[in-house]
């Protein structure tokens, strides 16, 4: 969810009001009358830990690149004109923190801080303590609400009105906070542990996949391959399209496969099958047919569930303690074994963020004749080609949730790829 505050400290004040309102409100108006002293003390201890973990999530730096950082060979050399320093892989310049952030996940308006390499464990612990406290409140207020229901036949003057008002107000509010934080926590864990990705990298992967589907990526990929390896990109083959492909898109018929294989492949097919004269001009430009799908992409930083988790948060013995911290440097990363199989043979992202190479692309799309295709083929092709996002620049591109790079807090001005180049191996 994208939230931008005109007055940024409001993003911290709102959670403070919620923690204090739900926590102390429940204690004062309800728990004091219903819970044992031991339970009340436990609740106050949990609430104090929550405050402390929130404080740490706000004040702990997300991690900045070392001074005069030099990217390793074979990587992108990305210059941050604002920090006057090279950006390590996976880092971005935050428009609010006004500095480059290591392994940037997103800028969190609720902590007025970036979530990145060094403070991710603090952020996750904060979410966990919110879930612990809100669950405690939900259970105890729920019991009181149930008691009201059981006593519904008693005369109303026996019911404490203030207490009842507190239960009716705080219970739904508490459940709303719990549900929101649970969703955010699950999203973070799926990204970090299961995929080894930051939220920005999930977005980047979706962008690259869309560029493969509409075929726009190949000009840049070929250029990058030539720059890094000093030779032409060989013909690529798909490892996945005949196996995983059908599981993911079971509703399609064999004849429609060409529609999903990327733009160049699509055009070639249309020539072979439809002898479309206009489209041939596009093919002559693109030369090689790349039988490569987004399933063949390899994300290099995913080291497997357990390794991702322990690299990001340290040993499980310290996960819940404030001194639990990442095991990696945040600016140099080990890559998984799958990169050996990577046909693109380029650092991540393979297009280096160059999504502005658009010369002629729109005209080419418009020039393609569709008359000779079947109705269904036409519909699918139009859907694919005329994706309103296919002509956007990287800084404008949005995922299916409408999220742009800007929504994650990245400074778009410091993201221009003009001065970036690949370091030869």
93 binds Zn ion (CB under 5 A): yes
d(CA 333, CA 70): 14
114 binds Zn ion (CB under 5 A): yes
Q: Residues 6 or more apart from 234 whose CB is under 8 A from it? A: 343
Q: Least Å distance between CB 53 and Zn ion?
A: 19
Specify the residue, 8 or 360, whose C-beta has the smaller distance to Zn ion.
8
90 binds Zn ion (CB under 5 A): no
- By CB under 5 A, name the one of 22, 49, 57, 100 that touches Zn ion: 100
Tokens 């391959």 label which residue? 225
Q: Least Å distance between CB 80 and Zn ion?
A: 3
Q: Least Å distance between CB 145 and Zn ion?
A: 40
Q: Least Å distance between CB 173 and Zn ion?
A: 28
Specify the residue, 49 or 80, whose C-beta has the smaller distance to Zn ion.
80
Specify the residue, 85 or 238, whose C-beta has the smaller distance to Zn ion.
85
Q: Least Å distance between CB 402 and Zn ion?
A: 21
Q: Least Å distance between CB 343 and Zn ion?
A: 32
CA angle 200, 75, 419 (to 5 degrees): 80
Specify the residue, 114 or 130, whose C-beta has the smaller distance to Zn ion.
114
Specify the residue, 93 or 122, whose C-beta has the smaller distance to Zn ion.
93
| Span 25-84, contacts to Zn ion by CB under 5 A | 80, 82-83
Specify the residue, 259 or 411, whose C-beta has the smaller distance to Zn ion.
411
Give the DSSP H or E segment for 338: none
d(CA 269, CA 133): 58
200 binds Zn ion (CB under 5 A): no
| Structure tokens, 120 | 């991710």
Q: How many residues bind Zn ion (CB under 5 A)?
A: 10
137 binds Zn ion (CB under 5 A): no
Contact predicate 61/119, CB 8 Å = yes
State the sign of the Cα–Cα–Cα–Cα dihedral 105, 85, 7, 15. Answer: positive
What DSSP line would sit under 52-104, residue for residue? HHHHHHHHS----PPTT--PPTTSEEEEETTTTEEEPTT-EEETTTTEEETT-
d(CA 363, CA 29): 68
115 binds Zn ion (CB under 5 A): no
Contact predicate 47/133, CB 8 Å = yes
Q: Show which residues are catalytic.
A: 108
94 binds Zn ion (CB under 5 A): yes
97 binds Zn ion (CB under 5 A): yes
Q: What is residue 330's DSSP assignment?
A: S
Binding site for Zn ion (CB under 5 A): 80, 82-83, 93-94, 96-97, 100, 107, 114
């Amino acid at each position: 969810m994208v939230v931008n505050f005109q007055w940024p400290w409001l993003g911290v004040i709102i959670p403070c009001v919620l923690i204090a309102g739900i926590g102390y409100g429940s204690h004062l108006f309800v728990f004091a009358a219903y819970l044992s002293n031991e339970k009340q003390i436990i609740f106050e201890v949990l609430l104090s830990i929550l405050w402390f973990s929130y404080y740490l999530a706000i004040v702990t730096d997300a991690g900045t690149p070392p001074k005069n950082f030099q990217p390793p060979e074979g990587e992108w050399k990305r210059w941050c004109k604002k920090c006057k320093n090279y950006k390590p892989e996976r880092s971005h310049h935050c428009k609010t923190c006004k500095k480059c952030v290591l392994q940037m996940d997103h800028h969190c308006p609720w902590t007025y801080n970036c979530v990145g390499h060094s403070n991710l464990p603090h952020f996750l612990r904060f979410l966990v303590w919110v879930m612990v406290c809100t669950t405690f409140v939900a259970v105890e207020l729920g019991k009181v609400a149930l008691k009201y229901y059981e006593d519904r036949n008693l005369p109303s003057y026996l019911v404490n009105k203030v207490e009842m008002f507190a239960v009716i107000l705080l219970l739904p509010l508490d459940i709303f906070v719990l549900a929101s934080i649970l969703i955010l926590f699950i999203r973070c864990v799926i990204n970090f542990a299961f995929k080894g990705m930051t939220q920005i990298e999930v977005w980047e992967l979706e962008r690259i996949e869309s560029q493969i589907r509409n075929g726009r990526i190949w000009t840049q990929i070929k250029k990058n391959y030539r720059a890094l390896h000093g030779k032409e990109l060989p013909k690529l083959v798909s490892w996945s399209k005949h196996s995983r492909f059908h599981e993911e898109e079971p509703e399609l018929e064999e004849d429609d496969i060409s529609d999903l294989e990327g733009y160049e492949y699509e055009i070639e097919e249309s020539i072979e099958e439809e002898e479309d004269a206009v489209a041939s001009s596009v093919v002559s430009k693109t030369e090689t047919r790349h039988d490569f799908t987004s399933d063949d992409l390899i994300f290099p930083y995913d080291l497997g569930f357990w390794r991702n988790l322990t690299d990001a948060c340290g040993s499980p013995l310290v996960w819940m303690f404030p001194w639990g911290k990442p095991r990696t440097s945040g600016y140099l990363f080990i890559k998984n074994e799958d990169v050996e199989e990577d046909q693109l043979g380029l650092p991540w992202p393979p297009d280096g963020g160059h999504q502005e190479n658009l010369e002629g692309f729109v005209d080419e799309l418009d020039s393609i004749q569709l008359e000779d295709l079947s109705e269904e083929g036409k519909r699918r092709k139009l859907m694919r080609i005329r994706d309103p996002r296919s002509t956007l620049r990287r800084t404008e591109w949005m995922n299916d949730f409408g999220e742009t790079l800007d929504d994650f807090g990245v400074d778009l001005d410091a993201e221009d790829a003009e001065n970036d180049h690949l370091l030869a191996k």
